[in-house]
Amino acid sequence: MTAASTPIATATTATGAGTARFRRLGAGWLGFTPFALYVLLFLAVPTVYAVASGFFTDAGAFTFANLAAFANPVIVTDMVNSFWVSAVVALVGAVVGALICFALLGAKPTGMLRTVVDSASSVLAQFGGIMLAFAFIALIGLQGVLTLTLKQTFGFDINANGPLLYQVSGLVFPYLYFSIPLMVITFMPAIEGMQHQWAEAAATLGASRATYWWRVAFPILAPAFWGSTILLFANAFSSFATAAALIDQGGIMPLAIKQQLTSETIVGVSNTAGVLALGMLVVMVIVMAAYSMLQRRARRWQR
Amino acid sequence: MELRAIARTAGTRGGKRILATAALATVVALSLTACAGSGANTANAADAKTLTLEQAQKATSAADFGGMAGLVAAANKEGHLNVITLPPSWANYGKIIAGFQKKYPNIKINSENPNGSSADEVAAAKSQKGQSTAPDVFDLGTAVLDDNLDLLADYKVKNWADLPADYKDAKGKWYYDYTGLMSIGYDSKVIKKAPKSIDDLLGSDYKGKVAIKGDPTQANEAASAVYWANLQSGGTADDIQPGIDFFGKLKKAGNFLSVLPTQATVNSGETPVVIQWSYNNLAWGPAGGSAGNPNWKTVVLPGTALGSYYNQAINADGPNPAAARLWEEYLYSPEVQNLYLASGAYPATLQAMISNKTVDESTLKSVGEPPKNFVQLTADQATKAGSLLGSSWSKTVG
């Protein structure tokens, strides 16, 4: 104990004797400390711990054997499912969200419509998990309001080819529910950043409206658009609770991880969850790196 | 470092315990001498022994506490009992917990994670080791039990002899508590004709209607539905492939529902047919009272029946060892064994209860005598079945 406290005391003295600039920097870091600690305790440490667990056997010996999970056709299918569901959700969500943003350009920035859509998007983008799953069960589940209405008034059964909502492809519906508003939130600032002068300048130089969009506006918006799309992908890829409430039979990566952790029929596989988490982490790191790169490009036009 | 910390906590707790025990034992002894005239009770109380936490964690019978009165006194002093993954509508655990609470009002039951799995129980015991929130007792499926024998304490309940020899570990590490039979529950408003064989479920009446209790590669009860379908379609306990194939056909017919059925989905009609343990199907029907679905019917099909006893066990490092042991004594009392029976589960001491007439006759009549021979997968068969599920369930059904 005493040995540890001595260097700290020295450090304090050193800071105290520092220049004003140094002290200000120190104070700045001090203000950052609670957040840094929070991230460390609740993000960094658990992540390292979870991933590291994948490299040990049940008995605690180091091993690479758990990596064999990635050769398991079941896991591969789960990975592929996770991928395509997230990709479909990201693309559809991005296009629909972008269209809403374009439509909103016609509304007054401080007007009622914009305010309502803005705040509604912020709220709905956060609406997920079990609550959302149950909302969809109530709407298009087997006994859902819409399901029964369609059946009774038009004789049309949306579940004719098996339960629509309770399969991997059914996840697209609830996922889109929170993805579209998220697109509106992230893409709107880019569209708002478009300057009138650009269109005017293009028109002065003889560009048609279409040429302006094609040669000026789209290239400027592209990084922001793809960046937001990637964000939607990442968001859908890591969703768990909604899927768990709708399809209990697995089929996507987060559910596969749950299966490895809590199985009571196949025991002693909990460490495999660690390498599966590693797999997801690799995907997320790639995706988020691409996101931040695109964001940096997009910001050039928003200054 | 960690070990020392745990030892230290335990030490302090032990220290406080001695003082408190001494005080309480005196009170109990005095009050018992005062009110109970019977010599036996007085003798028991006088014999009550004060054990440290470590000693209590090693107690293998009530005698180690100086008899039942001593065990009750020690449990009262602990004042808490942590149980885990006991849903109120599962095998009557709601009533069983309430009964314990009434009988021992000084012991507060903390019921954690009621919908968790056996694996969750073990994970909680490991991660909360040495803490006051760790589970004291387990209710485990066989596969998980066999993998974690080192977590369990030896303890023999008073009526140990009533448990058939192959229903218990020789040293008392674990013992069977209850089993149901795999059954089909169905909403008679939606399904007009009761299913007569498992192949009926493949028919068009059952389109998008048949659910099981989770992912069989994950939940014991769901896996049991597969084992049972296997037996019903001519498979043996050694090879469950026909069972997986059955669910493949069910999926192909568009009849299989991958949503997790609960009492709520049954009541709303979202899951009109559920394959699960008979005690759960019964509890979700009219027997469940106002919470149940009055149209819910339970069918145990003719042909080979499947059962699977769950196991009782005590956490060797549990924070309330005396309360844990008192809970086991309580569970194996005829009173609670009859409560299991009333839920449609067959308690482990049923045969002994029938022969010494402690069984509730009217309940037994309504539930029906247990079939003379039902199949229960051995640990080896369960392991084999589990690995087959792991490799081919998702391929066939997922």
Note whether residue A73 is domain-resident.
Answer: yes
B40/A150 Cα distance (integer angstroms)? 74
Provide the domain count of chain A: 1
pLDDT at B32 over 50: no
A176 to chain B, minimum CA–CA distance in Å? 20
Token output for A283:
């995907």
Token output for B154:
């030896």
Note whether residue A122 is domain-resident.
Answer: yes
Residue type at B22 in one-letter notation: A
Share of chain A above pLDDT 90, in %: 46
**pTM for the predicted model, two decimal places:** 0.76
DSSP assigned state of B163: S
| A266 contact B CB<8A | yes
Task: Answer yes or no: are the C-beta atoms of A252 and A243 closer than 8 Å.
Answer: yes
Q: How far lies B40's CA from each of A73, B24, B29, B47, B376, in Å?
A: 66, 20, 12, 11, 42
Residue type at B225 in one-letter notation: A
Cβ of A137 and B270 within 8 Å?
Answer: yes
Residue A22's pLDDT band (cuts 50, 70, 90): low
Mean pLDDT in residue range A212-218:
90
Give the tens place of pLDDT for each residue, A62-115: 988 889 888 888 889 899 999 999 999 999 999 999 999 999 988 888 889 999
Chain B interface, Cβ < 8 Å to A? 116-120, 123, 141, 143-144, 146-147, 208, 214-220, 223, 254, 257-260, 268-270, 382-383, 385-387, 389-391, 393-395, 397-398
Cβ of B394 and A270 within 8 Å?
Answer: no
Domain hosting residue A282, numbered range: 69-187+196-299
Residue B348's pLDDT band (cuts 50, 70, 90): very high
Mean pLDDT in residue range B206-215:
92
Residue whose structure tokens are 């599962």: B90
Q: How far lies B119's CA from each of A261, B52, B142, in Å?
A: 8, 30, 11
Token output for B225:
């539905």
Q: State the DSSP H helix or E strand holding residue B148, giving kind and residue range, or none if neither.
A: none
Mean pLDDT, chain A, integer: 86
Mean pLDDT, chain B, integer: 86
B112/B124 Cα distance (integer angstroms)? 10
Task: Answer yes or no: are the C-beta atoms of B261 and B274 closer than 8 Å.
Answer: yes
State phi, psi for B176 to the nearest 5 degrees.
Answer: -60, 145
pLDDT at B39 over 50: no
| A162 contact B CB<8A | yes
Give the residue from B272, B273, B291, B275 showing the smallest Cα distance to B283.
B291
Q: State the DSSP H helix or E strand holding residue A78, giving kind and residue range, or none if neither.
A: helix A73-105
**Which is more confidently placed, B249 or A303?**
B249
Tell me the domains of chain B and their CATH numbers: 2-29+181-307+376-396 (3.40.190.10), 38-161+314-345 (3.40.190)
pLDDT reported for residue B60: 93
Share of chain B above pLDDT 70, in %: 88
Give the tens place of pLDDT for each residue, B293-345: 999 999 999 889 999 999 999 999 999 999 999 999 999 999 999 999 999 89
Give the tens place of pLDDT for each residue, A248-283: 777 899 998 988 888 888 777 888 899 999 999 999
Note whether residue A95 is domain-resident.
Answer: yes
Mean pLDDT in residue range A8-36:
62
**Which is more confidently placed, B93 or B29?**
B93
pLDDT reported for residue A20: 59
Give the tens place of pLDDT for each residue, B144-195: 888 899 999 999 999 999 999 989 999 999 999 999 999 999 999 999 999 9
Note whether residue A222 is domain-resident.
Answer: yes
Note whether residue A60 is domain-resident.
Answer: no
Cβ of B219 and A265 within 8 Å?
Answer: yes
pLDDT reported for residue B174: 94
Residue B61's pLDDT band (cuts 50, 70, 90): very high
Mean pLDDT in residue range B31-56:
58
A130/B116 Cα distance (integer angstroms)? 17
CA R_g for chain B = 23
Instruction: Assign residue A208 the CATH number of its domain.
Output: 1.10.3720.10
Note whether residue A174 is domain-resident.
Answer: yes
B268: closest chain A residue by CA:
A143
pLDDT reported for residue B258: 86
